[in-house]
Amino acid sequence: MNEFSYSNLKDEWKRIDQALIPPDLFVSMPQPECKGLTLLTDVMINATVCKLGPRVGLITAPYSDDIEIVLDVAETIERRLPAPWNGFWNNERDNDRGREGDRHLETWVRNSKTGANTKVCIAATGEGYVPAIDDCVSFVLWAEAGFPYPPTTLDDRILFVRDPEHYEAEKARKKEALRAAQQAELLRKDLAREKSLAETKALFQLELEVRRVRNLGWHELMAEHESADPPTDAISSALYQLRDSLLTLPAPGHPIGQLTNDL
């Protein structure tokens, strides 16, 4: 009985190994990845959520009744293979393959009811070199735990595969709302700038007029004051007060032309 069970376990172990790693990749993997395969196979033997497939090199885990997360184990390993392995696998397809510190997992989100699917950005955390297959183990354990604390990228892609048409329409609506808000902010800044320029120009004009009025002779000042229209704005009011103060005898101790407010 024990021999039969051991034989079955060996067969199951071999079956999972072969389902996880394509033969051509297996013979090219560096030692750290090969060592990690033992742990990944052990985890998959005991997995109750994650399943192998639908093709060699893939692990599929249900996220909800209609959503599946697919991990491409083979592609994740190939992506991170250091030289000289990476030069063989990337075939000059991607310049970012084999980059130090790159811990992205090759993952997909799939709607099990409609078949809609899309890639999703999921990356392991931490610093330093970690074999890709070790991060695949972490993914399986994460899936077995029910995908706690999913990244926002996963939430976003799930919304997409559930209803791509609605997602794109909502995305367009948000983009238009953002554009409108940005235009409104630009308009507000333009109006504020125009107001500031107008105030600066008005102040400059007032200073010029104050100098001109102060340089008028008595008769010129009297004639201008009598012919001036009633004040209609801040500048005309200030000039009216200035002319009036210059034409009015000051109180004892006050110089001629002194206004109640500075000009």
- pLDDT bucket at 262, cuts 50 / 70 / 90: very low
* CB-based contacts of 86, cutoff 8 Å, min separation 6: 78, 80, 97, 98
Q: How does pLDDT run across 224-246, given as a tens digit for each residue?
A: 888 888 888 888 888 888 888 88
DSSP reduced 3-state for 112: coil
Return the closest-CA partner of residue 140 out of 14, 49, 17.
Answer: 49
Question: For 155-179, how does the pLDDT look when each residue is reduced to its tens digit (9 = 90+)?
Answer: 999 999 999 999 999 999 999 999 9
Detail the DSSP E strand segments found in 25-157.
51-52, 58-62, 67-72, 104-111, 117-123
